[in-house]
Amino acid sequence: MSDTPYAKTLAALDALHAEDPRRVEVAGESLPLELWHAGRMSAWLERLVAAPDELVRLAVRAQHLQRWQVPRGDYPEGRIGYLTWRRDQGQRAAETTARLMQEAGYDAEAPERVARMVRKQGLGRDPGTQALEDCACLVFLENYFADFSKQIDHDHLIRIVQMTWKKMSPQAHALALQLPMSDEARGLVEEALAGAG
């Protein structure tokens, strides 16, 4: 197994994730933030998709690849700056992942398919891209939403939750509603969903 293109690519992705200088404490252990994030993405994929193929697994694992190298603060404030930063990050991650896959022995078609998923092309139409987006939304709601909600004004936050919800599949919606949340965070989600109709 360790000599397969999949195993080689996965190991190469995780080696890059492990270079993240940012750290997170998990169960008394200090981990590179991006490696921990990739692990949460993979864990959600296993709950979302009964038997994800290896290309979807790689795309999901690569979603935040080397994101620390180009901080959000390098781009202008506001929605356009954010969307440009996110697009550029997806493009960089897609190119790096495709290169790692080619080096590991994949033919040309597989890396391009994974790159499309990482760039989130075909959202709502391609099952792999949708799985990646669902995992990203669930990781956000599970791990970042509570802190994020304290930094953003109320009305903007409600719009963000509504936009996030629109990108998710019905299965991801069901999983999101089962997440443990503070009363305050759950109230915000419920308010956003009530206003989304």
pLDDT tens-digit series, residues 139-167: 999 988 888 778 888 888 898 889 999 99
Of 154 and 131, the structure prediction assigns the larger pLDDT to: 131
Query: What integer pLDDT is reported at residue 197 of this predicted model?
Result: 53
Dihedral sign from CA coordinates of 97, 99, 102, 107? positive
Mean pLDDT across 175-180: 91
Q: Is 187 exposed, middle or buried (0-12, 13-18, 19+ CB in 10 A)?
A: exposed
- The C-alpha atoms of residue 192 and residue 56 are separated, in whole angstroms, by 30
Beta carbons of 77 and 45 less than 8 angstroms apart = no
Q: Rounded to the nearest 10 degrees, what angle do helices 127-139 and 33-48 cross at? A: 120
pLDDT at 156: 85
Classify burial at 142, counting beta carbons within 10 Å of its beta carbon; exposed 0-12, middle 13-18, buried 19 or more: middle
Average pLDDT, integer, range 101-105: 98
d(CA 25, CA 158): 29
Q: How many domains does the chain have?
A: 1
Residue with tokens 């206003």: 195
Q: pLDDT band at 116, cuts 50/70/90?
A: very high
Provide DSSP, 12-32. Answer: HHHHHHTT---EEEETTEEEE
Confidence at residue 196, expressed as pLDDT on a 0 to 100 scale? 62
